Amino acid sequence: MTTLTRALSILTLFISLTVLLVGCTPHQKSAGVYFPTATTWERRDPVSQGFDPALLASAVAWAQTQETDWPKDFSTQEKIFGRRLGPIPTTRASTNGLIIRHGYIVAEFGDTAAADPTYSVAKSYLATIAGLTLDRGMIPFLDQPCAALIHDGGYDSPHNSAITWRHHLTQTSEWQGELFGKDHRFIGEREYGSGAMTPREIRQPGTYYEYNDVRINRLSLSLLRLWKRPLPQVLKSEIMDPIGASSTWRWIPYDNAMVDIDGTSMPSVSGGTRWGGGLWISAQDHARFGLLMLRQGNWNGNQILSTNWVAQATTPNTSPTCPGARPDYNMLWWLNTTSRWPAAPKSSYSAQGAGDNTIWVDPEHDLVIVWRWHKGGNTKAEFYKRVLAALTPAPDNHTPQVDIRK
């Protein structure tokens, strides 16, 4: 082989590898996978998306009869949750929702543009910021003790010093302390309403699950200290703007939740609306967030969240460092591993908040359902059952859960 021939062969190989690598970049758009733009979300006839239109209409009509009994003026807020620390709106929308299949809107009911408090659905948004933090190396690994990075006194005690990021994200942290006037023990009806608890022995971090907003708010504050800018700004620039969300959503801090970050006063937001404030957002914006998760963190070619993070968040915890974790809850998302929604696939998962407010994602059927202000109990399971029953048995022209990285 001559020197010129060898050089041409090397050049050809280099060009081929370059084309291959460019083709694998996370910003490549995938043909045939639909994403809404910031101004337009296309609607499709249910038949074209594999639904029996009469059965789907019946499911939606049933959902509209399942309005929550929570008063629209939030007059029972303090009775349920205790003394408020932040604002509450004077009214809310009636029950509303969207059903998304293959990225398209196939059903919509009620005022889906109303930006209302979403209560603990905010926890799944907070977890997503934690995922970004991990993806970008700001947290080296989930089992690192928070005390290695956070030096504000919150993790100084021998007990708290053992708490890891994973413990916070599985609600097994058992963090001890007071934050913004609320104590981790939840003792007393005035402060905690009907959610007040009785005293119990504190366990070792990772060994005991307890749904506890004080500890979630501690996680939020810790993430703020890492980002060094308000988490609503992080959510907006890194998640919501890239997926084309509206400008109507707000993440409102408690009145007393301003903290010093390197000499600048910043708000530390909560993971719910238990004591007021929290994430106020529309069903439409929730649906975009659900679609981002359904598409494995990718939005029209932009890999916003790593597929590894989405996989961790939507499957059961397997880490031996959290033996107390629930099998149906991980990274602040609810899972169907124990058939909480019996008719739905085990792979489906949900962000859930009081009220009730829900984002449900079903990768197996390429579905996202957002449902706001509905009754609790088995109501969600029944709605999902009815929607899934409306799917026609004949295969359609779409491939569920398309891997858009290819």
- pLDDT at residue 1 above 90? no
User: Looking at the domain assignment, is residue 336 inside a domain?
Assistant: yes
Amino acid at 91: T
pLDDT band, very low/low/confident/very high, at 2 (cuts 50, 70, 90): very low
What is the model's pTM? 0.91
State the total domains in the chain: 2
Question: Do 314 and 182 fall into the same domain?
Answer: yes
- Is residue 175 in a domain? yes
Closest CA to 223 of 269, 264, 260, 181: 269
Mean local confidence (pLDDT), 261-267: 98
Integer CA distances (angstroms), 47 to 57, 149, 230, 270, in order: 12, 53, 44, 41
**Domain assignment present for 342:** yes
**pLDDT of the residue at 25:** 39
CB 50 within 8 A of CB 396: yes
19 and 132 in a common domain = no
% of the chain with per-residue pLDDT over 70 = 89
User: What is the 3-state secondary structure of 26-88?
Assistant: CCCCCCCCCCCCCCCCCECCHHHHCECHHHHHHHHHHHCCCECCCCCCCCCHHHHHCCCCCCC
How much is the average pLDDT of 20-24? Answer: 33
pLDDT digits (tens, 9 = 90+) for 127-177: 999 999 999 999 999 999 999 999 999 999 999 999 999 999 999 999 999
pLDDT band, very low/low/confident/very high, at 31 (cuts 50, 70, 90): low
Q: Would you say residue 11 has pLDDT above 90?
A: no
Let me know whether 166 and 147 are in one domain.
Answer: yes
Peptide bond into 260 cis (omega under 30): no
What percent of the chain lies above the pLDDT cut of 90? 89
> In the predicted model, is pLDDT for residue 312 greater than 70?
yes
Q: What is the pLDDT of residue 337?
A: 97
Same domain, 329 and 360: yes
Same domain, 12 and 104: no
The reply to whether 401 falls in a domain is: no
Does 40 lie in the same domain as 97?
yes
pLDDT attached to residue 195: 96
Beta pairing partners, 329:
334
Give pLDDT tens digits for 324-339.
Answer: 999 999 999 999 999 9
**Cα–Cα dist 175/44, whole Å:** 48
Mark whether 19 and 62 lie in a shared domain. no
Q: What is the pLDDT of residue 32?
A: 81
Same domain, 156 and 10: no
Locate 248 and state its tokens.
């109507």
Asked if 335 and 329 count as a contact pair (C-beta separation under 8 A), the reply is yes
Domain hosting 254: range is 35-389
Chain segment 218-259, per-residue pLDDT in tens: 999 999 999 999 999 999 999 999 999 999 999 999 999 999
Same domain, 77 and 16: no
Overall average pLDDT of the 79-103 stretch: 98
Residue 30 — pLDDT band, cuts 50, 70, 90?
low
Domain assignment present for residue 403? The answer is no
Work out the average pLDDT over 294-305: 98
The reported pLDDT for the residue numbered 393 is 81
Residue 6, pLDDT above cutoff 60: no
Environment class of 19 (CB within 10 Å of its CB; exposed 0-12, middle 13-18, buried 19+): exposed
Average pLDDT, the chain: 92
pLDDT surpasses 60 at 266: yes
- Both 45 and 18 in a single domain? no
Mean pLDDT of 65-90: 98
- What's the confidence (pLDDT) of residue 401? 53
Beta bridge partners of 278: 252
Whether residues 128 and 218 share a domain: the answer is yes
CA angle (32 as vertex; 29, 34 as ends), nearest 5: 75
- Domain shared by 2 and 140, yes or no: no
Q: What is the mean pLDDT of residues 330-357?
A: 98
Helix-strand-coil percent breakdown of the chain, rounded to 5? 35, 15, 50
Q: Is the pLDDT of residue 29 over 60?
A: no
- Grouping H, G, I as helix, E, B as strand and the rest as coil, residue 287 is helix
Check pLDDT > 70 for residue 406.
Answer: no
> Is residue 395 domain-resident?
no
Tens-digit pLDDT profile for residues 120-138:
999 999 999 999 999 999 9
Report yes or no on 394 lying in a domain. no
pLDDT confidence band for 403 (50 / 70 / 90) = low
Q: Give the whole-angstrom CA distance, residue 120 versus residue 279.
A: 9
Evaluate whether residue 397 is within a structural domain.
no
CATH number at residue 49: 3.40.710.10
Give the mean pLDDT of 103-109.
98
Q: Which residues partner with 358 through β-bridges?
A: 352, 371
Work out the average pLDDT over 6-24: 35
In this prediction, residues 186-210 reach a mean pLDDT of 97
